[in-house]
Amino acid sequence: MSLAPADWPVAQSVEQIAANLATVRQRIASACARAGRDPASVRLLPVSKTVDEARIRMAVAAGCHELGENKVQEAQRKAEAMADLDVHWSVIGHLQTNKARYVARFASEFQALDSLRVAEALQQRLLLEDRTLDVFVQVNTSAEPSKYGLEPPAVADFVQQLPAFDRLRLRGLMTLAIFTPEVERVRACFVRLRELRDQLQQTAPAGLDLSQLSMGMSGDFEVAIEEGATVVRVGQAIFGARSTPDSFYWPTPGAPA
């Protein structure tokens, strides 16, 4: 089996975004049915990377009240510009320590924790802001040098040290699958994360929550759901294709684009 490239038209109205959301939710429900899961066990995180304010406002009108952003300063600008909206912002991209102050001010969630230096920077800034932050530990399950994230063997020791950061509320693990049309290579990345989570649950310090698995994007989230994803990060299938080089995904065969 292989995954084929897709072309998603850019959604330019509330109605188009709402229709795309309905299609994505149906794909989630179908994948859950195949896996014998309750669709309510999968959280859809719409990703508004590169989407302008006007279309984000359309998305909120269509029912999106949480949004994921890759770049923290872009996310902060949007959060400030749309402070009148009921939106929870999730930062899902790599974070440099000198930008931790931004995340601490506005984000509800950070899904790319992969170093103690970042954990320390977030802890300090969150103390100043008197806030807490939900976090996911990012794991490089594809073994690609170009990807951020901890190597799987390093995650257990990392998790053991997280109780020292009481402003960070661990929720689970996150990964990006390899970009390839070969579905079984994509699936292997998701299996690796699920198996790692299951192992960690046996040894993690008491009180740490590792129940969530954030994995799967527009083209591969059905495979991720089949392998246990509880959060799927979907951008292009909702908002339309981006022109950036990192925006190429593959949908599962027969799935609506």
The DSSP line for the chain is -B-----PPPP-SHHHHHHHHHHHHHHHHHHHHHHT--GGGSEEEEB-TT--HHHHHHHHHTT--EEEESSHHHHHHHHHHTTTS--EEEE-S---GGGHHHHHHH-SEEEEE--HHHHHHHHHHHHHHT--EEEEEEB-TT--TTS-SB-HHHHHHHHHHGGG-TTEEEEEEE------SBHHHHHHHHHHHHHHHHHHHHHSPTT----EEE---TTTHHHHHHTT-SEEEE-HHHH----STT----PPTT---
pLDDT of 225 > 60? The answer is yes
The structure tokens listed for 42 are 């999968």
Q: Give the per-residue pLDDT at 2.
A: 55
Q: Give the per-residue pLDDT at 243.
A: 52
pTM attached to this predicted model: 0.92
Q: What share of the chain has pLDDT > 70, as a percent?
A: 93
Q: Give the per-residue pLDDT at 8.
A: 87
Q: How far apart are CA 31 and CA 26, in angstroms?
A: 9
pLDDT, mean over the chain:
92
Q: Give the per-residue pLDDT at 242.
A: 76
The structure tokens listed for 49 are 């990377």
Give 116-140 pLDDT, tens digit per residue: 999 999 999 999 999 999 999 999 9
Q: Give the per-residue pLDDT at 208.
A: 93
Q: Give the per-residue pLDDT at 5.
A: 60
Give 59-113 pLDDT, tens digit per residue: 999 999 999 999 999 999 999 999 999 999 999 999 999 999 999 999 999 999 9
Q: Give the per-residue pLDDT at 3.
A: 72
pLDDT of 254 > 60? The answer is no
pLDDT of 251 > 90? The answer is no
Q: How far apart are CA 132 and CA 164, in angstroms?
A: 14
Residue that wins the pLDDT comparison between 250 and 168: 168
pLDDT range class, residue 6, cuts 50, 70, 90: confident
The alpha carbons of the chain give a radius of gyration, in whole angstroms, of: 17
The structure tokens listed for 249 are 């995904």
Q: What is the largest CA-CA distance in the chain?
A: 51
Q: Are 91 and 112 in contact, with CB atoms under 8 Å apart?
A: yes
Give 149-175 pLDDT, tens digit per residue: 999 999 999 999 999 999 999 999 999
Q: What share of the chain has pLDDT > 90, as a percent?
A: 89
